[in-house]
Chains A and B, each alone.
Chain A
Amino acid sequence: GQNIDQPTEMTATEGAIVQINCTYQTSGFNGLFWYQQHAGEAPTFLSYNVLDGLEEKGRFSSFLSRSKGYSYLLLKELQMKDSASYLCAVRLDDYKLSFGAGTTVTVRA
């Protein structure tokens, strides 16, 4: 089976930075996705990495190291609306997505 690990919960203060790590051991790799999911809502796409390195999109950045089977999502200048679950997903050799269980981030004032 696929193994995608991320922390269950993280808490941070408004205005701070939080880094959500994701490690994976999967049958093949064709890219890694990060999704944001607010409680009771659908997951929404945040970022995609297929090559090593950092991808920056405004306050959010995502990093990938394929040799280490490792990615992180960096959230800067945290806002209350960033309180959500963040899902790491690996695209496998058959192009299907395998998801981690998600990390719930709580932003406190």
Chain B
Amino acid sequence: IAGITQAPTSQILAAGRRMTLRCTQDMRHNAMYWYRQDLGLGLRLIHYSNTAGTTGKGEVPDGYSVSRANTDDFPLTLASAVPSQTSVYFCASSDSALTDTQYFGPGTRLTVL
């Protein structure tokens, strides 16, 4: 069982380009999350989905969009990347949005030049 996979592992991107970070889980968890982690700031929630077909905005949603067409996949799209979006991005999932522990994927290191 893989748990949560993310792709790519790392990426260097020119400013202004569009980029989709992929996240797939095989645990049939209902809730999924996207965080970014920056030095000194900790993990910050970008977007979340409590169940397939629904999404919501987190603490830092600007410049990002998500979709949740099915239970397993939760892609994060940067429509027009900017250097301030250079970060490590973690996808997470939990069985229930209300009560359960979140489990994290291995992360994507994104550099926007």
Contact = CB atoms under 8 A, between A and B. Distances in A.
Interface of B is mostly: loop
B43 A87 contact: yes
Contacts of A95: 97-98
B53 interface: no
Given A48-B101, A96-B48, A101 B107 contact: no
Contacts of A42: 90, 104-107
Interface of B: 40-45, 48, 58-59, 90, 97-98, 101-107
Nearest to A102: B42
Interface string A75-109: 00000000000010100000111111110000000
Contacts of B97: 95
Interface residues of A, number: 19
B106 A41 contact: yes
A34 to B, nearest CB: 11
A45 B107 CA distance: 15
Contacts of A41: 106-107
Interface in A18-38: 33, 35
Interface in A23-70: 33, 35, 41-45, 48
